[in-house]
Structure 1
Amino acid sequence: MTKAKHLHGAGKTDVVRTSFEKKLKKMDETLKRWRKTGRRDDSFWPKSLVELKSWEEPEEGIFKWTSNNITLREGDYSKQVERYWRLQEKAAPIPKVEEAGEPSRLKRENVRLSQQINELTWEVMDLRDELIRIDPKNTLLARVLFP
C-alpha cells in the first residue's frame, strides 16, 4: 500500500483496514445498484483478490497494497476478506450488460427452430400422402400415424 508503505504497527493497520473497508463499501454500493437495475454496468468490480489488492483510487481513500497477507482468510483482516467473498457470491447471479440480451436472443432462436420443425413436419406429411397415393395398399404407411 503506497500510503502505508512507510508506516509501522497500528498506524499501518488502521490505514489498510480503512482502505479495505472503503473498497468493500464501494463494492456494496455497486452491488445495490446492480440489483436495482437487474444487471451489471461497467463499474469496476474486482474479480479476484489480486484485483482487489491492486485497486487504487487515491481520491476516494482507496489504496492498493502489496502484501498477500492482507487477503488471507485467517489473517488480521479475516472479517473483511469474508465480507469480500459474500459480496462476490451475491454478485455472481447478476448478468453483465452483454449477457442481459441473451434470453431474447435465445427466444428468437427458439421461434426460428419451431418454425423450421413445423415446415419439416408438413413436408414429411406431404411425402407420406404422396407415397400413399402411389401405393395405397402399403401396410407400413398405414401404421405410421401423423397429426
Structure 2
Amino acid sequence: MLTRCRRDPRSGTGTLIGLGVGPGEPDALAPGAVDRLAHADVVFVPAPAESTVLFYAEAWRVERIGDHRAAAQRVVEWFAAHPGGTAVFATAGDPTACPSFGVTAVAVRSSAGALRVEHLPGVTIVPPRRSPLPWAAP
C-alpha cells in the first residue's frame, strides 16, 4: 500500500522530479516511477501526457501546464507557496530531451532556493495495457 509523503515546510528543501510519459509496455515501467507520482504533492503535465498521468495520480493533484515559460513560472510559484514540497513534472517523452523540463529545472534552481531536481531518463510511465477485462466473455 502506498502512503502519501509528508513534507516538512521547515526544511525548505523541495524536490522536482522529471518523469517521461509515452507509449510502451506496462511491464517495462521504471521501478519507482509510479511511486514518485503517488507520493508527489502535485503533478505538472502538458496536455499530450495528461491522460496517461491520470491513470496513476488523482485529478486534484494534476495541473496542466502550457509553453516553456508559463510552465517554468507556474512551477516556481508552486514551490514558493509550498516550501519542502514534492512536484513531478511529467513530460511527453524523455525528460532529458524535453525543453520544457530543462527550462523549468533551470528556473526553479535559480528561484526556489534549496531544491533538488532529479529525473528518471527515458519513458518511465506508460498507459495501462488495453485489453479486455479478464472476466469478460471473449
Q: TM-score, normalised by structure 2?
A: 0.23
- Structure with greater proportional helix content: 1
Higher Rg = 1
- Structure with greater proportional strand content: 2
Q: TM-score, normalised by structure 1?
A: 0.22
